[in-house]
Amino acid sequence: HEGLTLLTEHTQQLREVLSSQKTRGQWGERMAEDVLRLAGFLEGVNYRRQATLLGSGGRPDYTFLMPNGLVMHMDVKFPLDNYVRYLEAAGDIERRQHRDQFLRDVRLRVRELTARGYLDDVSETVDCLLLFIPNEQVYAFVQEHDRSVLDDALRNKIVLCSPLTLYAVLAVVRQAVDNFRLEKTSDQILALLGEFSLQWEKYVAQLDRVQQRFDQVGKEYAALMTTR
């Protein structure tokens, strides 16, 4: 019962948020920021916002910093106007019209993102980019009514992410970065151990020479105090 109540409240909040065009534009970024914060990502450390790309001149909303100097881009701007009209439609015919237009809007958004050249610099960019859908309900709606939208996006190396799937993607990115740092740290530790081993061998050899000199001095002192 509590779960259904929360779901009802969430749906009502979604309608209220989507009712304002200005709020819709800010909502996607706010949702993305919430997911990034939950994933433990810090701006300037794990990602950059609206950084201009040198090659294409494009400005993705987010650029994630990956190991080996690579990056992965994400846009959060998503067409929701016709989805709102679909929710508010009074009859089935009007609802179908807005549904079809919304799905066309999504396809156009994917096509637009494909043409922006975010993947042109293959030496610095991973071979995919992300398009954030800021709500699980909207994401499920696209899957339910036209699964081919997601398949076509994947063929263009665009991954559509809901908040939950974005969190999963970021968890993989975080693990890759942590593993890379551990690998680099391990290499440094091994290098230091190798240097320590070399210096220890030199120390032992020098200590043996000092010990031999002490032994020789001891013998000469003993001879001086007895024989002489």
pLDDT per position as a tens digit, 151-197: 888 888 888 988 888 888 888 877 777 766 555 554 554 555 556 55
What is the helix (H) or strand (E) element at residue 65, kind and residue range? strand 62-65
| CA end-to-end distance (rounded Å), the chain | 107
What does the alpha-carbon distance between residue 18 and residue 44 come to, in Å, rounded to a whole number? 30
Among 71-85, 99-113, 119-133, 136-150, the range with the most confident prediction by mean pLDDT is 99-113
Give the amino acid at 98.
H
Average pLDDT, the chain: 76
What does the alpha-carbon distance between residue 13 and residue 7 come to, in Å, rounded to a whole number? 10
Quick one: average pLDDT of 53-67? 80
The answer to whether 139 and 37 have CB atoms below 8 angstroms apart is no
Reported as a pLDDT band with limits 50, 70 and 90, residue 4 is very low
- Predicted pLDDT at 9: 47
What does the alpha-carbon distance between residue 63 and residue 48 come to, in Å, rounded to a whole number? 5
pLDDT (tens digit, 9 = 90+) per residue, 100-130?
999 999 999 999 988 888 887 766 887 788 9
Which residues, including other chains, have CB under 8 Å from residue 58's CB and lie 6 or more apart? 52, 116, 117, 118
